[in-house]
Copies of this chain bind each other. A is one copy, B any other.
Amino acid sequence: MRQSVDLRHACRLVNHGPTVLVSAEHGGRRNLMAAAWSMPVEFTPPRIAVVIDKSTYTRELVLAAGTLALNIPCRALADVSYTVGSVSGRDDPGADKFACYGIGHFDGPALGLPLVEGCVAWMECRRIPEPHAEQAYDTFYVEVVSALADDRVFSAGRWSFRPDNAELHTLHHLGAGRFAVAAQTVQGRLLPARGRGT
């Protein structure tokens, strides 16, 4: 079910703008937060930008460890996604959100980071230090070092959103816990040119 994704296809996992869950671990402490704001910046090597607010406990762990994981939740995880995006691990750092909310996890293959059970894709990443972007725009640039996906919804380098895998469709945060679901697909066609403009 979980299959390795070739790193040259890793950015396709977030190309369509899904909400991600950022997990991090350092010195025996771990945490998890939702991030609506991420985007690829390069296919090869696979690099992604993700916004991590200064108020978050996860940011502390990312800066200390130099690594983070991006987990891509699906429709079945809408409640988990909203919850870990609404509660700060800073409120009680003794109680990590995995334990508080009974969120299962497994170890990432490259870095051993805690990856969220029930998600549909996972990437372990190393921080590329960019202190100015981190400070001015809360933007962290990271490079993907391992990628996995659930082959019921992502295989051969492509997402496949179908009626028979509806619970596995990705979430796209609209605000206040409401998510758009990538529930249908459409194929664009190339238009013929009408000739030179003026």
Residues of A participating in the B interface, judged by any CB pair closer than 8 Å: 12, 15-19, 36-42, 47, 49, 51, 75, 78-83, 86-87, 92, 94-96, 98-102, 130, 132-133, 137-139, 141, 158-159, 161, 170-175, 177-191, 193-198
Contact = CB atoms under 8 A, between A and B. Distances in A.
A65 B18 CA distance: 31
B79 A190 contact: yes
Given A178-B188, A179-B185, A197 B139 contact: no
Contact of A102 (B18, B49, B179, B194): B194
Determine chain A's interface SS by DSSP, over half rule: mixed
A83 B98 CA distance: 44
B177 A187 contact: yes
Contact of A94 (B38, B102, B196): B196
Nearest to A102: B194
Max count, chain B CB within 10 A of own CB: residue among A86, A172, A188: A188
Given A186-B178, A197-B99, A173 B16 contact: yes
Given A79-B189, A174-B185, A179-B187, 7 more contacts: A79-B188, A137-B141, A159-B174, A159-B180, A178-B187, A180-B183, A181-B184
27 contacts: A15-B36, A16-B17, A16-B36, A16-B174, A17-B17, A17-B172, A37-B39, A37-B40, A39-B49, A40-B51, A78-B189, A79-B188, A81-B188, A82-B189, A83-B188, A87-B190, A87-B193, A92-B196, A94-B196, A95-B196, A98-B197, A130-B133, A158-B175, A177-B187, A177-B190, A178-B188, A179-B185
